[in-house]
Each structure stands twice: as C-alpha cells, then as structure tokens.
C-alpha cells in the first residue's frame, strides 16, 4: 500500500472518530427547549434590571447599567434531589456585607452527584422586611472571586409540603445579590460550610471586572 493511501485512510479514520464524537455531543430536544427558556428568562431579567423601579440600577444613580454576564446555559448543572430536613434546625447568624448580623434557620440540605462525586448544599429559611418567609440556597465555589462574584451566589427555592417532593437545583439560575451592583445594598455572606469544592461554571458571572 502506497504511503499516500495510508495517509488518506488515516485521515478518513480520524474524521469518522470526530463525527462519532459530534453525534454524542448533540443536545436532546428537551435540552434545546430548556436552554432557550433560560436564555429567554435572562433577557427578561435584563429588561427588569434596566428599568424596574426596584432595580439597583434605578435606585442607585451611581450604578451604571450594563447587561448581566452569564456562563452559557449548561443542562449538566441542573440536578434533582429530595430535601432532607435537619433533625435540629438551628438558628444561625449570617453576617451581611455591611457587618450587620442576620438570623436564618438552617433548615435542611440537598445531596447530588456530579462527575462521580457527591456534594451537599444547605437550605436556609428567613423572613423578608415585610415578614414573608422564604427559602434560599447560597454558596461559594472555585470560581468565586475569579469569574464569579466574590461574596457568593444565590438560588431561590420554593418549599413544598410533600417530604418526598423532588426539587430541581438549577445552577444555571444562580444569581448575584444586589450588593454585586451597588454599594447601597448589603447581602448575606455564605458560611465556610456553604463552600462547594468544585467550579460551578453556570449561572451569573461577576458584573464588575
């Protein structure tokens, strides 16, 4: 067999491998729909953050508006888990970025697997200024202070009364608190135990470079 023929066969073999790998990377229709939904949510959020009366960019004239920055939507960072409540739900003190103390109930936690590793994240319950109860996840990770906001990021959670309810923990929806945009605001600083030892390359990035 001539050397040129060997080279052609090798090239064809490599092309077949690349084509097979490309097929494996194709997104399902469900993933495509999910990605478009998150992208639409982000566009709507930009509209609200730019002009809504409660936006930090409207409340603080020193905060200059620009579109929020995100990682590309990645379905691999969306997980399902049942909420495990702590037997002893302690009230913990969380410091705000202005040094004030805030009290939250350390309510429960989620466990999920990612790339053959198991991780845990806490769920906290608090009350708004109007007295409404809410639940939140907040965390830091290996991107914190580098690609993402130095204080940490949050995910909102709506609690379900069914103890067997399967929640979706979607890090593509992780967002920055308002203190990331304006010094007028104070936000809760995640505890050391809220650090996730991996790079959560999903959700919102740093607003200021």
Q: What is the pLDDT of residue 25?
A: 55
Residue 102: CB atoms within 10 A of its CB come to: 16
Q: What is the pLDDT of residue 170?
A: 97
Between CA 147 and CA 150 the distance in angstroms is 9
Q: What is the pLDDT of residue 146?
A: 97
Residue 16 to residues 10, 11, 13, 20, 99: CA-CA distances in angstroms?
10, 9, 5, 6, 59
Encode the chain (209 residues) as per-residue pLDDT tens digits: 554 444 444 544 444 434 434 444 578 999 999 999 999 999 999 999 999 999 999 999 999 999 999 999 999 999 999 999 999 999 999 999 999 999 999 999 999 999 999 999 999 999 887 888 999 999 999 999 999 999 999 999 999 999 999 999 999 999 999 999 999 999 999 999 999 999 999 999 999 97
| String of DSSP letters for 90-123 | -EEEEEBTTS-EEEEEEEEEEEEEETTEEEEEEE
Residue 191 to residues 59, 90, 117, 195: CA-CA distances in angstroms?
29, 14, 22, 7
Q: Please identify which residue in the block is written with the tokens 């806490």.
A: 122
Q: pLDDT tens digits for 16-36?
A: 434 434 444 578 999 999 999
Q: What is the pLDDT of residue 8?
A: 43
Q: Report the sign of the C-alpha dihedral through residues 110, 83, 130, 95, in that order.
A: negative
The pTM of the full predicted model, rounded to 2 decimals, is 0.85
Core vs surface per residue 123-147: b (16+ CB within 10 A) or e: bbbbeeeeeeeebbbbbbbebbeee
* 12 dihedral zone (left: phi>0; alpha: psi -120 to 50; beta): alpha
């Amino acid at each position: 067999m001539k050397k040129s023929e060997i080279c052609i066969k090798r090239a064809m073999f490599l092309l077949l491998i690349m084509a097979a790998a490309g097929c494996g990377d194709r997104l399902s229709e469900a993933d495509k729909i999910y990605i478009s939904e998150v992208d639409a949510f982000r566009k709507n959020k930009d509209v609200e953050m730019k002009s809504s009366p409660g936006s930090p960019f409207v409340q603080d004239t020193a905060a200059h508006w620009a579109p929020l920055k995100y990682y590309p939507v990645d379905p691999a960072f969306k997980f399902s888990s049942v909420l495990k409540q702590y037997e002893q739900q302690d009230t913990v003190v969380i410091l705000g970025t202005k040094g004030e103390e805030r009290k939250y109930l350390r309510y429960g936690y989620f466990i999920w697997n990612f790339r053959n590793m198991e991780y845990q994240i806490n769920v906290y319950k608090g009350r708004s200024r109007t007295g409404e109860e809410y639940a939140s996840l907040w965390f830091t990770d290996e991107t914190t202070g580098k690609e993402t906001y130095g204080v940490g990021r949050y995910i909102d959670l709506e609690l379900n009364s069914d103890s067997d309810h399967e929640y979706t923990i979607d890090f593509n929806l992780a967002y920055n608190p308002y203190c990331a945009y304006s010094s007028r605001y104070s936000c809760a600083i995640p505890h050391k135990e809220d650090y996730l030892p991996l790079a959560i390359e999903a959700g919102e990035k740093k607003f200021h470079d």
